[in-house]
Chain A
Amino acid sequence: QVQLQESGPGLVKRSQTLSLTCTVSGGSISSGDYYWSWIRQPPGKGLEWIGYIYYSGSTYYNPSLKSRVTISVDTSKNQFSLKLSSVTAADTAVYYCARANGDYAYDAFDIWGQGTMVTVSS
């Protein structure tokens, strides 16, 4: 079955760029009607959708973060990535990658990575 795994630094300095990668295993990132997503959750708070990418490269970003976010895909490595620039303490969160399933699930996020905690330090 398809599994997702986030990787990247757990500590990022204020004003720098946060970079995370999600590796997809058990299936091809290029198959099916799926959107590969990033979602974050600040400590003790709710979930915030950051954006997603289709395997073709089409992207959709949350307007609240759009000026700072870039999501890219590398089909040869079966990975997609997140870059968030000019980070502040407000960007400290658990970052999840997830699959939005447009095949049958009305674009629900049906598969999630385990999440990775990113702390922005001063």
Chain B
Amino acid sequence: DIQMTQSPSSLSASVGDRVTITCRASQSISSYLNWYQQKPGKAPKLLIYAASSLLSGVPSRFSGSGSGTDFTLTISSLQPEDFATYYCQQSYSTPRTFGQGTKLEIK
């Protein structure tokens, strides 16, 4: 199985801050990396697929980069609605695996 490791596990930030979350795969996954946002009591929502492709309707302040084993999700200017838990997920091979999540909290 491909292990996905996110850092940090939690992060405190303020509205307007620029935030970066990192995801590392235990082996190369090319660009088969996706990012999701989950709010309490809700299903995850896809933000970015194929490492850097923004899903239609997702604000442009979200961006993704990376390939191989190292990836990042960046939020350029945090908005109040962005405080949530973020997960990375690889779709390179089965079993599909997720990172453990990064909880983004208000400072």
Chain A interface residues (CB < 8 Å from chain B):
46-49, 60-64, 96, 98, 100-101, 105-110, 112-115
Contacts and interface: CB of A to CB of B under 8 A. Distances in A.
Given A46-B99, A63-B1, A64-B95, 20 more contacts: A46-B87, A47-B87, A47-B89, A47-B101, A49-B95, A49-B97, A60-B94, A61-B95, A62-B95, A105-B50, A106-B31, A106-B32, A106-B50, A107-B91, A108-B46, A109-B46, A110-B46, A110-B55, A113-B43, A115-B43
Contact of A108 (B42, B91, B94, B99): B91
A98 B46 CA distance: 11
Nearest to B31: A106
A113 B42 CA distance: 9
B62 interface: no
B49 A105 contact: yes
B93 to A, nearest CB: 10
B63 interface: no
A100 B91 contact: yes
Interface residues of B, number: 25
Interface of B: 1, 31-32, 34, 36, 42-46, 49-50, 53, 55, 87, 89, 91, 94-101
Contacts of A109: 34, 36, 44, 46, 89
Contacts of A115: 43
Nearest to B4: A46
Nearest to A115: B43
A48 B100 CA distance: 10
Contact of A46 (B31, B32, B34, B100): B100
Contacts of A101: 49
8 contacts: A46-B99, A46-B100, A47-B98, A49-B96, A61-B95, A62-B94, A100-B91, A106-B49
A62 B97 CA distance: 9
A49 B97 CA distance: 7
A106 B49 CA distance: 7
B43 A46 contact: no
A108 B34 contact: yes
Nearest to B48: A108
